[in-house]
Each structure stands twice: as structure tokens, then as C-alpha cells.
Copies of this chain bind each other. A is one copy, B any other.
Amino acid sequence: MTPITLDISMSLDGFVAGPEPSMEDPLGKRGEELHEWVFGLASWRQAHGMEGGETGPDADLVAEHVASYGAVVMGRRMYSGGSGPWEDDPNAGGWWGDDPPFHVPVFVLTHHPRESREMQGGTTFHFVTDGIDTALDRAQRAAGDKAVHVAGGADVVQQVLDAGRFDELTVHVSPVLLGSGTRLFENVDGSRVKLELLPVPASPAVTHLRYRVVK
């Protein structure tokens, strides 16, 4: 069965975005600090069409993650970023650029039907209006022998957890306290999710946590 995985950066106090997200600041105030460990890595830069960058265990982990998935599932707000009511906005999703960094089919969970958008570089956005299980099923079929990467936001991650559909969770804990914003784990029925810690490489910039979800 095509595995469903999470790979997300979180603050020490549990936030995956800062408060007051906006067009200028789609990750919320100080939200970019969660991702500082990744911006300089060669493998991340390559996926985003840039050259150069650092190699090492962190870059290898990101390269492994990028190579692992054949489809992505994300929420509507992650797709449209800070742009307004996106169902009326033909440019919604524009912040991902003409060549988004996914390079695979991306299934966007939404209440508003919309035609698929084929972008450059292999990314096609598909819009799914009938719930998380359908989005995951379609992504699994599209992923072939690779994994489905659940990209976020937190509400989508919580839906996938509640549906018992995750196989593996990777959380990168950045050395940051945000104080407020969007929590990754909120209202999760913890008794239903049993985790098994998996080995990860040590990093001087961030703490990688990886778990197998025991089914």
C-alpha cells in the first residue's frame, strides 16, 4: 500500500505557522524562522530551481524526502497562501509560481470545485471537494510506487491523523519559541495514535523526529 507521510517543521512550542498570516507573510509572524534550517541546503535549493547550497546529513534527509513522494495533499489555505477569498481569485495559488517545487500531482482539499491546473515542471494542482479520504485515495493512485506527502496545513494533518491514514511522521523541531500561531497537534485523539520512534541523523541546526504509526 502506498505510504502516507508527513514532513513538517515545527517550533519547540508546537507551532507550524506564526500568528497573523498575510500576503506578505504567508507563514505568519516569525513563521520563516521555522524553516531557516532548510533554506541553505543544496537539495532544497535544487527542488526550488536554485543552484549551490550546503551538503551533509540535513541535505541528505531533505533529498531523501523529496525523492520519496509521488503525490502531495494540501489544504486550501496552503494552496492559496495569503491571497484573499481564493474561489473568486483566478490568481489564487499564484504564490507557488509557474514552476512549483512539488514536481508531482498535488491534491488540494477544498469546498469549491475548480478545474485542474497544470503547471511547469511536473506539478498539476487537482481540487478535491469530497473529503480527506478521497483526496488521499486519489493521491495514492497518482503516487504509483512512491509515497503520498501530506504538506499541511495543521488542519489537514489533523484530519489525516483522525482518519488513521498516516504511516510515518517526520517533524523537524526548530530551536524557536513562537508563543502563538497555528499548532500542529490540536484536538488530536491521542489514544488512537500509537507511535514508534525511528532513527534520524543528528543536526546542529534542527532536531529531526521520525515515527512509524503503528496500525
Chain A residues within 8 Å of B, Cβ to Cβ:
11-14, 30, 171, 173, 175-180, 183-185, 187-191, 193, 195-197, 199-200, 202, 204-207, 209, 211
The reply to whether B173 and A195 form a contact with Cβ atoms under 8 Å apart is: no
Neighbouring B residues of A14 by C-beta, 8 Å: 13-14, 183, 185
Neighbouring B residues of A188 by C-beta, 8 Å: 13, 177, 179
Q: How far is the CB of A26 from chain B (nearest CB, A)?
A: 19
The reply to whether B202 and A206 form a contact with Cβ atoms under 8 Å apart is: no
Neighbouring B residues of A178 by C-beta, 8 Å: 190
The reply to whether B191 and A30 form a contact with Cβ atoms under 8 Å apart is: yes
The CA of A138 and the CA of B84, in the complex, are separated in Å by: 54
Q: How far is the CB of A30 from chain B (nearest CB, A)?
A: 7
The CA of A191 and the CA of B196, in the complex, are separated in Å by: 33
A and B contact pairs by CB, cutoff 8 A, 11 listed: A11-B190, A13-B185, A13-B190, A14-B185, A173-B173, A175-B211, A176-B190, A177-B190, A179-B190, A199-B202, A200-B202
The CA of A205 and the CA of B209, in the complex, are separated in Å by: 12
The reply to whether A195 and B209 form a contact with Cβ atoms under 8 Å apart is: no
Q: How far is the CB of A37 from chain B (nearest CB, A)?
A: 9
Q: Closest residue to A169 on the B side, CB-wise?
A: B12
Q: How far is the CB of A3 from chain B (nearest CB, A)?
A: 18
Neighbouring B residues of A173 by C-beta, 8 Å: 173, 209
The CA of A171 and the CA of B200, in the complex, are separated in Å by: 17
The reply to whether A207 and B199 form a contact with Cβ atoms under 8 Å apart is: no
Q: Which of B187, B193, B199, B209 contacts A204 (CB 8 A)?
A: B199
The CA of A197 and the CA of B172, in the complex, are separated in Å by: 13
The reply to whether B204 and A197 form a contact with Cβ atoms under 8 Å apart is: yes
The CA of A211 and the CA of B193, in the complex, are separated in Å by: 28
The reply to whether A195 and B176 form a contact with Cβ atoms under 8 Å apart is: yes
Q: How far is the CB of A118 from chain B (nearest CB, A)?
A: 37
The CA of A202 and the CA of B171, in the complex, are separated in Å by: 16
Neighbouring B residues of A207 by C-beta, 8 Å: 197, 207, 209
